[in-house]
Structure 1
């Protein structure tokens, strides 16, 4: 018999223990009959202001991601979202397939959604190649994100890093700061704006920005959930969180 609260889809979600934005944003996106089940990658709120610090945070995430995935597979989810951005970009496009395969193996072969695949699918749905990107990072993280998008064939016209010094403090970025970042990186040549970083609470700002810019504004948590729903047969149009969930 199907799960009584999640008869249509049960979504396993893993996020760093420092992340307080992904879980509430993803829960707000749930269609009827879909449930989310969250596991935590246990990490400390260490500084990531330079390359050794960023590497240390990445090492902590790598050590804790597979145990976090296994912690949610016990409830029998239909798919898993890996809600952490730096791991997706840090080693470049060549390593992404290997990283994704390792996540699937940890999930027992379940479908796994990660940011690069979700964002690529969203940009393809919008037929957008000329992009601007918002990250929560300092230059040490921005460089890897920029390289990833360039290597993936996008024309990266602008990138704005919010300069947050530690993982937990990413959630402190205000909606006003995000609004200003969108204004700063937008131009007539930009076909879509992409925000990376799952501890950035940008779902509401992105939806509003799409309305007044008239172009796609893709927030990390929304695109992950959209991709997971659509890959697993849930086609409900969820309104209020931008064009991806409402129209695609």
Structure 2
């Protein structure tokens, strides 16, 4: 049985996933969400200074990810993936819509592969559920929150509110408690949005977002769930499941 499970024919698609070296949630979330036969393989962009205590610190962190990106991409390409996934939300959004697209196009050219990003996936998800007014939950400091707002507004959405958790380091993002995330979502739900969006791939929010439709009147989209959903559909995989929220259940 085990030998049959491990034959090459059971691999439906392989993804190379670029993440910050400080990230612990992407691999956890992808493992929980991906259907059988979808494999993912992480390349880590090195971060020497994980502090996000100030806007200047946050910019230094993102600049370090830029410097480590090529090595992470080089490494993950040795697994011969079918697609590259950039699981770094702020790294794309800080460039703006056109700058983010240029960044993605350059990576696609370097890799010779299609590329999926978290922000692109969230936008696709919002269009799919028909939302135009959004509230956004982030782990960021004010400057990154402003860039996040600009990105979604330039993508055609009315951003009713951005709630930043003001995490002081990249590793602290994964330590935000469920109670704090729930409280932030409940507060954000008062802004009159059609949908709530959680960005920041190291925030432990996949399960909470999936459960949120039970205690909020507003659809809630976790970036990691949206990324897996979008990459699956882009890969021609239409598997659905009922325990991961409306995207993977209904679309």
Q: Which residues of 2 match residues 125-204 of structure 1 at below 5 A?
A: 125-187=128-190, 189-204=192-207
SS of residue paired to 1:187: helix
Tell me which of 24, 44, 56 is aligned to 1:20: 24
Measured at CA, do residues 11 and 3 of structure 1 come closer, stay the same or move farther in structure 2, by a change above 3 Å? farther
Tell me which of 101, 111, 114 is aligned to 2:114: 111
SS of residue paired to 1:167: coil
The normalised TM-score by structure 1 is: 0.94
Instruction: Determine the structure 1 residue equivalent to 2:35.
Output: 31
Aligned length: 246
CA distances 1:87-130 after superposition (whole Å, capped 9, x unpaired): 11112122121111122123x22111112211111001001010
Q: Which has the higher helix share?
A: 2
The normalised TM-score by structure 2 is: 0.93
- 8 Å Cα contact 1:137/1:164 also seen in 2: yes
Instruction: Determine the structure 1 residue equivalent to 2:53.
Output: 49
Q: Which runs of 4+ in 1 moved over 3 A?
A: none
Instruction: Determine the structure 1 residue equivalent to 2:93.
Output: 89
- 8 Å Cα contact 1:12/1:37 also seen in 2: yes
SS of residue paired to 2:103: helix
- 8 Å Cα contact 1:18/1:44 also seen in 2: no
The reply to whether residue 241 of structure 1 matches residue 235 of structure 2 is: no
Structure 2 stretches lacking a partner, 5+ long? 1-5
Distance 1:171 1:143 in 2: 22
Instruction: Determine the structure 1 residue equivalent to 2:3.
Output: none
- 8 Å Cα contact 1:138/1:162 also seen in 2: yes
Distance 1:93 1:162 in 2: 23
Instruction: Determine the structure 1 residue equivalent to 2:223.
Output: 220
Distance 1:188 1:101 in 2: 35
CA distances 1:8-56 after superposition (whole Å, capped 9, x unpaired): 1111111111001111011111111111111111112432233322221
How far 1:75 sits from its partner (Å)?
Answer: 1.1
